[in-house]
Amino acid sequence: QVQLVQSGGDSVQAGGSLRLSCAASGDTKSITYVGWFPQAPGKEREGVATISTRADVPFYPASKKGRFAISQDRARNTVYLEINSLTPEDSAMYYCAAATRPVIVWTDPGQYLYWGQGTQVIVSS
């Protein structure tokens, strides 16, 4: 079992930056990937970044590359998502999720087994 506890969401002005945190506990050695999935009201969760925790390799969709940065602190079992140049379109509940198997389609939420409680990001113009 893995537990994920999130923090870092906030209400910010457009153009600002945020760093979201996802701290894992429990059987952390079983984690293979940790991803971030924002969900806006009425929309599905979409993957914006994931990291192979064992190889320390990040993955981004082309549309998000440059503004999103995922990283990890292995000593703290924590994965971070930094979002720069925030726009109102980034407003969403951001969930982190952990997989315990190889991930084939990393943007697919179904590939992840454990989920954090979510942290709210609100960007005003």
- 66 contact partners, CB below 8 Å, separation of at least 6: none
The per-residue pLDDT for 61 is 86
| pLDDT score at 62 | 79
Distance CA 25, CA 61 (A): 28
Burial class for 6, CB neighbours closer than 10 Å (0-12, 13-18, 19+) = buried
| Per-residue pLDDT tens digits for 15-31 | 999 999 999 999 999 99
Give pLDDT tens digits for 41-87.
999 999 999 999 999 999 998 776 689 999 999 999 999 999 999 99
